[in-house]
Amino acid sequence: MKLFINRILSHRFGTAALLVSLVVIISLLTRVVLLIKSFPQVDFSILNILGIFILGFFYDAINAGYVIIPLIFYLWLIPDKLFRKNWHRFILYGIFFFFTFGLLFNAVSEFLFWDEFNTRFNFIAVDYLVYTTEVIGNIQQSYPIEVIIFTLLLFTGVIVFFLRTYIRMPIDYAIRLKKRTLWALCLFMIPVISFFTIHNKLHRFSTNAFVNELSGNGLYELFAAYLNNELDYEQFYSKIDNTRAFSRMRELVKTPESEFVDANPLSIERRIINQGSEKKLNVVMISVESFSADFMRMFGNTENITPFLDSLAQHSLVFTNLYATGTRTVRGLEALSLCVPPTPGQSIVRRPKNENLFSLGKVFNSKGYESKYIYGGYGYFDNMNGFFSANNYTVVDRSALQPEEIDYENIWGVADENLFTLALKEIDKTVETEKPIFAQVMTVSNHRPYTYPEGRIDIPSHTGREGAVKYTDYAINKFLEEARSRPWFDSTVFVIVADHCASSAGKTELPVNKYHIPMMIYSPANVSPSKMERLMSQIDMGPTLLGLLNFSYTSKFYGYDIFKLEPGRERIFISTYQNLGFIRNGKMVQLDPQQKVNTYTPNFSDGSLIKIENDQTLIDEAIAWYQTASFAFTNGLMK
Q: What is the pLDDT of residues 325-346, one digit of tens each?
A: 999 999 999 999 999 999 998 8
The alpha carbon of 328 is separated from its chain's Cα centroid by a whole number of angstroms, namely 3
| In the predicted structure, residue 139 carries a pLDDT above the cut 90 | no
Pairing of strands 409-410, 413-414: antiparallel
pLDDT band at 573 (very low <50, low <70, confident <90, very high): very high
CB 298 within 8 A of CB 454: no
CA 488/CA 472 separation, integer angstroms: 23
For residue 240, is pLDDT > 90?
yes
Cα→Cα distances 87→92, 165, 172, 611, Å: 9, 14, 12, 63
Among residues 544, 624, 626, the alpha carbon closest in space to that of 257 is found at 544
Q: Report how far residue 369's alpha carbon sits from residue 271's, in angstroms, rounded to the nearest whole number.
A: 20
Q: What is the residue-averaged pLDDT of the chain?
A: 92
> Which is nearest to 325 in space by CA: 500, 578, 125?
500
Spell out the residues 6+ positions from residue 513 whose beta carbon is closer than 8 angstroms to its own.
506, 603, 604, 605, 606, 607
Instruction: Judge whether 211 and 118 are in contact, CB under 8 Å.
Output: no
pTM: 0.82
Q: CA angle, 111 as apex, 106 and 113 as ends, to 5°?
A: 90
C-beta separation of 569 from 586 below 8 A: no
Calculate Rg over the CA atoms of the chain: 27
**Sign of the C-alpha dihedral, residues 405, 409, 412, 415?**
negative
pLDDT at 452 (0 to 100): 93
Residues 6+ apart with CB under 8 A from 491: 281, 282, 436, 525, 526
**Nearest-angstrom CA–CA distance, 518 and 512:** 14
- Lowest-pLDDT range of 41-50, 195-204, 451-460, 479-488: 195-204
Give per-residue pLDDT as tens, 184-239.
999 999 999 998 898 877 888 888 888 999 999 999 988 887 766 666 788 789 99
Residues 581-595 have pLDDT tens digits of: 999 999 999 999 878
Q: Name which of 113-117, 410-414, 547-551, 577-581 the model is least confident about.
A: 113-117
How far apart, in Å, are the Cα atoms of 553 and each of 288, 367, 547? 28, 9, 10
pLDDT at 181 over 90: yes
Ranges of beta strands (E only) in 501-613 are 516-522, 530-532, 536-537, 553-555, 572-575, 580-584, 587-592, 596-602, 609-612
**Percent of the chain scoring above 90 in pLDDT:** 77
Q: How far is CA 587 from the centre of its chain?
A: 24
What average pLDDT does range 172-176 have in this prediction?
A: 86
Task: Select 275-566's CATH number: 1.10.240.10, 3.30.9.80, 3.40.720.10, 3.60.15.10.
Answer: 3.40.720.10
pLDDT tens digits for range 429-446: 999 999 999 999 999 988
| Mean pLDDT, rounded, for 351-369 | 96
Sign of CA dihedral 120, 126, 129, 134: negative
Does 555 have pLDDT greater than 80? Answer: yes
469 within 8 A of 304, measured Cβ to Cβ:
no
**Domain ranges within the chain, ordered by starting residue:** 2-227, 275-566
Q: Is pLDDT above 60 for 628? A: yes
> Nearest-5° angle of CA 530, CA 333, CA 454?
80
Asked whether the bond before 567 is cis by omega within 30 degrees of 0, the reply is no
Q: Which pLDDT score is estimated for 172?
A: 82
Q: Say if residue 137's pLDDT is above 80.
A: no
Q: Please say whether the dihedral angle defined by the alpha carbons of residues 272, 427, 337 and 504, taken in this order, is positive or negative.
A: negative
Q: Please report which helix (H) or strand (E) contains residue 285, including its range.
A: strand 282-288
Q: How far apart are CA 326 and CA 612, in angstroms?
A: 24
Q: What phi, psi does 81 have (nearest 5°)?
A: -60, -40
